[in-house]
Amino acid sequence: FRMKRAAENEEFVVYYQPKVDLPRKRCIGFEALVRWKMMEGQMIPPDEFIPLFEKNGFLEQLDMYMMDEVCQLLKKWEQTYPSLRISINVSRMYIFRPGFARRVLEIVERNGVSTKQLEIEITESVIFDRSMELFAIIQELRSYGFRISMDDFGSGYSSLNMLKDIPIDTIKLDQVFFQTNHGNTQRARDIVGGVLSLAKTLGIHSVAEGIEEADEVVFLKEHGCDEIQGYYYSKPLCVEDFEAYICRQNADR
């Protein structure tokens, strides 16, 4: 099977996209994003294979591999960069399987890194109809020290209700708010401003993603957004570029 062979050949690689801390213009956080680099040199984006892997059950294995790679990298940079944080994506297709949180914890412990350096991004759409189970899983992960981020915030139906009941550390504003091709930029910005002030009131960290334009950065800064992720600052980087990036940043300090 193509997929098994791909895993054996180490065709799945981790890319890291910086999240830039707004007030200080520094970056201590990254999101890990998978890429399928075929032996033939072709690069396949996750949207083209993740839905398939969700169906055939391979995704959990792949994400645990991602987690392991990320932990090894954190270990490698532990001395020089102890404040580094990396977030990883998980899918609703397997987070409800028994023992999920413990499996994640085992990987982190086996690598000897701190759970505090890892953030788990859960897409908002999981909340739909399984909120009690999700609540339990998030509580368990947080009890181990992981940070929890609600990905694609604002894209689903239950965001506000979810904020009331489920303890999370971070919200990631969905990219749709920054896709300005619908001609409703002002309304989108009013909503973003409102969500940011709500986050502040609740003591939740805020991240805006998919940011490509300077005026969006200015707006977000004015409204107290904590971190920005997007092409404006950087595309996702391969591990070599990631390491060059953090070295440069350490040198600038």
Out of 21, 68, 78, 212, name the contact with ligand C2E by CB under 6 A.
212
Residue with smaller CB distance to ligand C2E, 170 or 229: 229
Instruction: Rule CB under 6 A: say whether 50 interacts with ligand C2E.
Output: yes
Among the candidate windows 22-30, 58-66, 132-140, 217-225, which touches ligand C2E by CB under 6 A? 58-66
Instruction: Rule CB under 6 A: say whether 66 interacts with ligand C2E.
Output: yes
Out of 21, 46, 180, 249, name the contact with ligand C2E by CB under 6 A.
46
Nearest distance from C-beta of residue 82 to ligand C2E, angstroms = 24
Out of 45, 57, 82, 145, name the contact with ligand C2E by CB under 6 A.
45
Instruction: Rule CB under 6 A: say whether 87 interacts with ligand C2E.
Output: no
Positions that interact with Ca ion (CB under 5 A): 89, 121, 151-152
* Count of residues in contact with ligand C2E, rule CB under 6 A: 23
Closest CA to 137 of 185, 90, 200, 84: 90
User: What is the C-alpha to C-alpha distance for residues 44 and 127, in angstroms, rounded to an integer?
Assistant: 29
- Point out which residues bind ligand C2E (CB under 6 A): 17, 33-34, 45-47, 50, 59, 63, 66, 89-91, 151-152, 209-212, 229-231, 236
